[in-house]
Amino acid sequence: MKITCNTTALTEAVNIVQKAVASRSTLPVLEGILLKASEGKVTLTGNDLEIGIECAIDAQIASEGGVVVNSSLFGNAVRKLSAELVLIEMGSNNIVKIKSGGSEITLTGINAGEFPEIPKFETEYDIVLTQREIKKLIRHTIFAVGTSEAKLILTGCLLEAAENNVNMVAIDGFRLALKKISTEKASVSGYLGDVGIVIPSKTLKEINNIADESDDNVIIRCSQKNIRFEFGNVIMTSRLLEGDFIDYKKIIPTEWSTKVKADLKALSDAVDRASVVITSEINKSPLCLTIAENTIKITCETSSGKTEEFVPVQTEGNDLEIGFNNKYLLDALKNAEGEEVFLQFTGPVNPCLITPLEGDSYKFIVLPVRLRTE
Amino acid sequence: MQRTILHVDVNSAFLSWEAARRVAAGEKDIRLIPSAIGGSGNKRGSVILAKSVLAKRFGIKTGEPVLMALRKCPKLYLAKPNFKLYSQSSKAFMSVCLKYSAAVEQYSIDECFIDVTNASRIYQSPFSMAEKIKKDINDSLGITVNIGIGPNKLLAKMASGFEGPNKIHTLFLEEISEKLWPLPVRALFSVGRATAQRLEKAFIRTIGELAHTPLCRVQKLTGEKSGLQIHNFANGIDDEPVLTKPKDAKGYSISTTLQKDVVSAETAYEVLLVLADSVTMRMRADSAKAFCVSVTIRDNNFVDKSRQQKLPEPTDITAEVYSISKQLFSKLWDKKTALRLLGISLFDITKQESAQQSFFNDGQKQKLRELDKTIDDIRSKFGADVIARGSLLQSKEDAEG
């Protein structure tokens, strides 16, 4: 293999594929990046066996071929180059020479044949979204994804799509986040079943990091076990989580006994301020919300101090006193959109549903903390 | 105002208390022969818990396996541990100390700090007061103590650790260059083996050298917080007050050296269940819950590995701690190395009564909590051994059968 390419493009590609390189592995090849040169392109691949990322850049190919180089070594070397072009050449015994300007770096590579192949699969179901839309779906749900390995399926987000609507749902046991995108552009083809697919949160975090805020397309191709995101010069392949996601529709409350219409920013800021006395996980008390007569009073008391906030709102139905984990409530409010929101309650130990005033572009459910006085 | 603190430390506590009990019952004094407190020698988990002065001459050390001690001194007289006696003796020891000041902090089962800043006006000097306390303890309890006198807890404790038994030492600020600084760094309170090695590698070998090393260098070697602490200690600085009420526990931990190496996950799980059961019971007795669970394993080369997990909600439930411990263990263990010790630690302790509602298993959690409470109640009434998990009974039968 012998190629010449642009140093900046190569550095960007390395930064992208490194997200799928195992940082520590018993197999040295998994700590590497595969460089493969053919047909005017050099493709870089990282694969930690859960996620595989391929990124292709233009290159002048003097001779085709491939080799695996240690990711952190290669990355450190390439990032420090200052000349515009870089030449990469593989000699005998997988010795890789990197020449750029007056620099020459020689690394020991690994035979390309040892690199694990990224699973190829027949796609059963395709979704097209813009990069901005996929980022939005991810950002507004991933905060509520589960972290407990005891419920592995909840460490991922559920993706559902029908016609021009795409839903993403995350549940960690204490809250739920649902984000819906419906656009002209969102197009879905094929059929994967009624239950949707569950994408590991790590995969989604990396997509969110790599994708930009543009209207360029992301093509999402799915099978029962794998998913592939194709956008720009990047292809990311990931396995899916197997198992049945919770039937989340059943836990979305349909009735209410107390309903609040609130200015989103005013409420969110008040919750944030009321939380200042919560200095750590250990020194934590629930926020107490007292809802009555067009006001929400928020109080919190810990060993560090006491806070009290009054937020004018519009209330309907019963008065209510209810406790919340400040983080869970704040996460939901920060990810809500629009100037105003509805909060619906059915009692002090039942879920709180947060929705926009109109439409159904998001639904957040936060479960309360039972207050001691009850 | 300059404080005066005493640190009172019972000499070879477990052995002294056992000996005092025997002397009171008309038996011979085992302090006068090479003797030690330790479990039976055929159990490899048994270690020397305390030893007599004569046993020390044979090179026997506290904490070493009984088998090794017997090799050094085959005639060593071994007395079995008796924790009920220690607990009673400890209370009696504390009540004598409390006669001399209200500000007494029990630091462990056999040592305490006494703040005598005010009381020392009644006595001629702190030294004469210490002599009186020492004599009182000897007369009423039949045991000897070392007493350290200093301007703070650290120096008092370092002083009581000087030569013993039955001695009083002072360590005031003007004495530290002569009495404290020549000692090796590992002798300094709170400097463990690993820290000592790091310091020694950097040619900081005595407490004096540590005291004169720039703080930033010490912090670079041992970490910011611990660096500041040991640098202060080496310079005789310690502002900690004598606490009359015990501080809330920062964590709860338990570990056990196994009678036979653990070589299968099933056996390890059984041990983890016993440990989880015991450590959560202690935590529940304090109405505390933990946000973090950690598991430690030790192989036969005494290499420790541990792994921890943070929880979104704190727990005190045996079944939850057990289930997390199993997961942590399976990530830690390579499925082949023989293990000699397993341990569980719970930290990030809170006393808040969190009742975060959950989409799942709330009923299940409530049931588990009730189960734990029922078991705790039965044990506190009838003893720890009257009730055990079914899975453990089965394995015991298998082992016996």
**What ipTM score was computed for the predicted complex, to two decimals?**
0.80
**B175 contact partners, CB below 8 Å, separation of at least 6:** none
Q: What percent of chain A has pLDDT over 70?
A: 96
Residue B401 pLDDT greater than 50, yes or no = no
Q: Which domain holds residue B228?
A: 180-234
Residue B206 pLDDT greater than 50, yes or no = yes
Structural domain contains residue B101: no
Average pLDDT, chain B: 88
Residue A339 pLDDT greater than 70, yes or no = yes
For residue B355, which residues of chain A lie inside 8 Å, CB to CB? 369-370
Burial (Cβ within 10 Å: 0-12, 13-18, ≥19) of residue B401:
exposed
Structural domain contains residue B166: no
Looking at residue A13, its pLDDT comes to 96
Decide if A255 touches B, using CB distance below 8 A.
no
Residues B265 and B196 in one domain: no
Contact in structure between A164 and A186 (CB atoms under 8 Å): yes
Residues B351 and B228 in one domain: no
A225-245: buried (b, 16+ CB within 10 Å) or exposed (e) per residue? Answer: ebbbbbbbbbbbbbbbbeeeb
Mapped onto helix, strand or coil, the DSSP state of residue A223 is coil
Burial (Cβ within 10 Å: 0-12, 13-18, ≥19) of residue A15:
middle
**A229 contact partners, CB below 8 Å, separation of at least 6:** A134, A207, A218, A219, A220, A235, A236
Mutate to test the interface with B, among A152, A247, A281, A373 (most CBs of B within 10 A): A281
Residues B216 and B274 in one domain: no
Contact A367 B348 (CB under 8 A): no
Residues B332 and B202 in one domain: no
Report cis status (omega within 30 of 0) of the bond before A368.
no
- Report the range of poorest mean pLDDT among A215-229, A266-280, A309-323, B360-374: B360-374
Residue type, B69: A
Nearest CA in chain B to A374: B355
Residues B358 and B304 in one domain: yes
Decide if B327 touches A, using CB distance below 8 A.
yes
What sections of chain A are H helices per DSSP?
7-17, 71-79, 131-139, 201-210, 264-274, 326-335
**B5 contact partners, CB below 8 Å, separation of at least 6:** B113, B114, B115, B116, B117, B149, B150, B151, B152, B153, B155, B156, B242
* B339-350, strands of its sheet edge to edge: B251-262, B339-350, B289-299, B304-315
Average pLDDT, chain A: 91
Residue B71 pLDDT greater than 70, yes or no = yes
Query: What's the Cα-to-Cα distance from A264 to each of A256, A313, A324, A358, rounded to whole Å?
Result: 20, 10, 17, 14
Looking at residue B286, its pLDDT comes to 87
For residues A58-87, average pLDDT: 94
Looking at residue B350, its pLDDT comes to 84
Structural domain contains residue B169: no
Residue B101 pLDDT greater than 70, yes or no = yes
Q: How many of the other CB atoms lie within 10 Å of CB of B319?
A: 20
Residues B285 and B394 in one domain: yes
Q: Which of B18, B27, B105, B111 is catalytic?
A: B111
Residues B386 and B260 in one domain: yes
Looking at residue A117, its pLDDT comes to 92
Q: What's the CATH number where B319 sits?
A: 3.30.1490.100
User: Over the stretch B125-146, which tens digit does the pLDDT of each residue have?
Assistant: 889 999 999 999 999 999 999 9
Residue B181 pLDDT greater than 50, yes or no = yes
Rounded-to-integer distance, Cα B19 and Cα B143, Å: 9
Residues B287 and B370 in one domain: yes
Q: Which of B313, B353, B358 sits opposite A372 (nearest CB)?
A: B353
Contact in structure between B359 and A251 (CB atoms under 8 Å): yes
Contact B350 A281 (CB under 8 A): yes
For residue B356, which residues of chain A lie inside 8 Å, CB to CB? 174, 325, 367, 369
Rounded-to-integer distance, Cα B42 and Cα B129, Å: 46
Structural domain contains residue B106: no
Q: Which of the residue ranges A122-131, A256-265, B31-40 has the most confident prediction, judged by mean pLDDT?
A: A256-265
Residues B350 and B263 in one domain: yes
For residue A171, which residues of chain B lie inside 8 Å, CB to CB? 359
For residues B97-109, average pLDDT: 89
User: Over the stretch A249-295, which tens digit does the pLDDT of each residue have?
Assistant: 999 999 999 999 999 999 999 999 999 998 877 677 889 999 999 99
Looking at residue B391, its pLDDT comes to 67
Structural domain contains residue B323: yes
Residue A173 pLDDT greater than 90, yes or no = no
Structural domain contains residue B46: no
Q: How confident is the model at residue A195 (pLDDT cuts 50, 70, 90)?
A: low
Residue B111 catalytic? yes
Q: What's the CATH number where B226 sits?
A: 1.10.150.20
A27 vs B133, more confident: B133
- SS3 percent helix, strand, coil of chain B, rounded to 5, is 45, 20, 30
Residue B395 pLDDT greater than 70, yes or no = no
Q: What percent of chain B has pLDDT over 70?
A: 94
- CB-side exposure of B145: number of CA atoms within 13 Å? 31
Structural domain contains residue B325: yes
Residues B262 and B363 in one domain: yes
For residue A222, give the nearest of A207, A240, A241, A209 by alpha carbon.
A240
Residue A31 pLDDT greater than 50, yes or no = yes
What does residue B307 show for φ and ψ, rounded to 5 degrees?
-145, 145
User: Over the stretch A88-108, which tens digit does the pLDDT of each residue have?
Assistant: 999 888 999 999 999 999 999
Rounded-to-integer distance, Cα A114 and Cα A25, Å: 14
Looking at residue A184, its pLDDT comes to 67
Contact in structure between A366 and A324 (CB atoms under 8 Å): yes
Residues B288 and B384 in one domain: yes
The secondary element (H helix, E strand) that includes residue B18 is helix B13-24
Q: How confident is the model at residue B399 (pLDDT cuts 50, 70, 90)?
A: very low
Rounded-to-integer distance, Cα B304 and Cα B297, Å: 6
Q: How confident is the model at residue B34 (pLDDT cuts 50, 70, 90)?
A: very high
Mutate to test the interface with B, among A143, A149, A245, A282 (most CBs of B within 10 A): A282
Residues B204 and B333 in one domain: no
Looking at residue B400, its pLDDT comes to 44
B14-24: buried (b, 16+ CB within 10 Å) or exposed (e) per residue? Answer: bbbbbbbbbee
For residue B274, give the nearest of B333, B328, B335, B326 by alpha carbon.
B326
Residue B171 pLDDT greater than 50, yes or no = yes
Q: Which of A173, A285, A350 sits opposite B358 (nearest CB)?
A: A173
The secondary element (H helix, E strand) that includes residue A301 is strand A295-302
What domain count does chain B have? 2
Mutate to test the interface with A, among B335, B357, B365 (most CBs of A within 10 A): B357
Structural domain contains residue B157: no
Q: How confident is the model at residue B247 (pLDDT cuts 50, 70, 90)?
A: confident
Residue A225 pLDDT greater than 80, yes or no = yes
Query: What's the Cα-to-Cα distance from A37 to each of A13, A32, A63, B213, rounded to whole Å?
Result: 14, 16, 8, 57
Q: What percent of chain A has pLDDT over 90?
A: 75
